[in-house]
Structure 1
Amino acid sequence: MRAPDRFLFNTPDIELWPAWLLRARGNHDARLLARARFVLRRKHDGRYLAATVDEGLQPLLPRWTRERGVDAALDMLDAVLATPRRPPGASATLPLDRLHERLAQLGVDGDYGARTGLPRVAEPTRLALAGFDRYRRPLWLTAAAARAWQRMQAAAMREGVVLEAISGYRSHDYQLGIFERKFARGQSLAQILAVNAAPGHSEHHGGQALDIGAPGEPPAEESFERTHAFAWLQRHAAGFGFTMSYPRDNPHGIVYEPWHWRYREAGTES
């Protein structure tokens, strides 16, 4: 029996998700997902396009072959299916060629990166399943960050400290959606940028950052700094390669985020 696939494969517009991790959105989807290995999932709204089953690709959305970026997704799928025992090649990063389009859509000026000191962050072409977050959603990180997170979480648990993942990898499209939802609630661009980096500039895009919480604590709140989990992270996180990205009075204009930690492999530049 095949072991469950534990990698997400990423293209600019479409993701290849292991079908066993997705929730069916109707009886037709449920029957197809039960037999599928991968699902092509549109990034900007999460819609399922098609599923791979033994007899080939089966549609989940009408006219899915006309979707933007479908050729790149099918090329990635061919590479994945041709290497059944391991992921194809080394993980690379996706181009940043549509970043200006996303920023202009939000009204973010072209000097944002230089002004804040927040670099542009490309999305990886492959992410590993690092477990599940507080809400039972799949937690995606780079393979190295996933291993480090699992080791750190287990070490904390041995000392009676529970570290919960709140969120990990987020695509540029997902970040854009955060801004759109906050605009709809009446927030201004300045208010949003104080809490969320502009699309293309969030550390979450790179698959090496995650937000961490503790049981009973609200997510992404400054009160996290008063928990045993935060005290444990201050003492031990560096030993696992994690550092807090946005301390008080950081130079990027981001509010103090004691919950946001990023993994850096030994020997890599920050």
Structure 2
Amino acid sequence: MQRRLPLLINTEAIEVWPADLLRARGTADARLLARAQWILRRKLDGRYLAAVLPLGVHAMVPRLAREPGVEEALALLDAPLARPFGAPLEEQWLPLAGLQQRLQQLGLDPQRYAEDSGLPLEPEPCLLHFAGRDRFGRPLWLRRVAAQGWQRMRRHAAQDGIALDAISGFRSHAYQLGIFDRKRARGLGVTEILKVNAAPGFSEHHSGHALDIGTPGDAPAEETFEATAAFAWLQAHAGEHGFQLSYPRGNPHGIVYEPWHWCWKPANG
């Protein structure tokens, strides 16, 4: 029987990870992860909240029941129709409730930003597929079609003597908000940040279809990637695997040139 690839179950507040893809953060974590099937992980800060063991749920934080979203996440594991290999989750997206308030706290009007940038609001998928590991050894999560396209494209490139690696894939709204918070803490203004980062909720990375691509020996997410054989190969062949360069020079969205950022798009999209 063909082994099924690991999946990530995504909820508004919590991600449910396959335990064997997470790193232990201490001796106690290591013992739990070795026995657990799933780990509930808080999206805001990556904190491990609970381990789902064959005989039940083991809390990894005090007052687990008070954690927002725990019941919802556990219900997805318990509901037969929502088990990781069923179709329902595959076609579902998270609601966008709450994101608008966060954007307003940044001084951004979502509707005006969408009109000005031409970028659509991107909901997060409820289910993501393991697409290998990125350059830094982290699990790479994408939607099924993008994961399959990336793996085919990487094999094709290797056959042509070109090494491609992933820099990053899916990012949650919370992750993108964190980027803005860290840059603002360094003294950057929102307008300045928007020149290089899409507003939270508007990044293609939220969709699970986009990834940043690099090649060994070249700095990640730098314009120098344009001068590599890997970039030349992508220009010639990425379209065969469903990927397009999202932000070329002079793009209408006002995003700086990103030769590393590619997104899977349907043939009629």
Q: Which amino acid aligns with 1:8?
A: L
8 Å CA contact retained: 1:212, 1:259: yes
Q: Tell me the residue number matched to 2:188.
A: 187
Q: 1:166 to 1:151 in 2, by over 3 A?
A: same
User: How big is each residue's C-alpha offset from its partner over 1:98-119, in whole Å with a ceiling of 9 and x where there is no partner?
Assistant: 1211212222234111111111
Q: Tell me the residue number matched to 2:29.
A: 29
Q: Tell me the residue number matched to 1:133.
A: 134
8 Å CA contact retained: 1:41, 1:47: yes
User: How big is each residue's C-alpha offset from its partner over 1:179-236, in whole Å with a ceiling of 9 and x where there is no partner?
Assistant: 1111122222122111110110000000000000111111111111000000000000
Normalised to the residue count of structure 1, the TM-score between the two structures is 0.94
Q: Tell me the residue number matched to 2:72.
A: 72
Q: Tell me the residue number matched to 1:239.
A: 240
User: How big is each residue's C-alpha offset from its partner over 1:46-85, in whole Å with a ceiling of 9 and x where there is no partner?
Assistant: 101101112100011111211112222122121369847x
Distance in 2 (alpha carbons) for counterparts of 1:91 and 1:81: 12
Q: Tell me the residue number matched to 1:201.
A: 202
Distance in 2 (alpha carbons) for counterparts of 1:67 and 1:49: 8
Percent identical among aligned pairs is 58
Q: How many residues align?
A: 267
Q: Tell me the residue number matched to 1:62.
A: 62
Q: Which runs of 4+ in 1 moved over 3 A?
A: 2-5, 80-84
* Coordinate RMSD, CA, aligned: 1.9
Q: Tell me the residue number matched to 2:224.
A: 223
Q: Which amino acid aligns with 1:60?
A: M
Q: 1:214 to 1:249 in 2, by over 3 A?
A: same
Q: Displacement, 1:178?
A: 0.7
8 Å CA contact retained: 1:39, 1:49: yes
Normalised to the residue count of structure 2, the TM-score between the two structures is 0.94
Q: 1:72 to 1:97 in 2, by over 3 A?
A: same
Unaligned ranges ≥5, structure 2: none
Q: Tell me the residue number matched to 1:39.
A: 39
Q: 1:60 to 1:109 in 2, by over 3 A?
A: same
Q: Tell me the residue number matched to 2:103.
A: 103
Q: 1:12 to 1:24 in 2, by over 3 A?
A: same
Q: What SS class does the counterpart of residue 258 from structure 1 fall into? A: coil
8 Å CA contact retained: 2:77, 2:83: no
Q: Displacement, 1:168?
A: 0.3
Distance in 1 (alpha carbons) for counterparts of 2:177 and 2:86: 29
Which range moves more in the overlay, 62-71 or 209-218? 62-71
Q: 1:83 to 1:170 in 2, by over 3 A?
A: closer
Q: Displacement, 1:3?
A: 5.5
Which range moves more in the overlay, 103-112 or 122-131? 103-112
Distance in 1 (alpha carbons) for counterparts of 2:193 and 2:82: 43
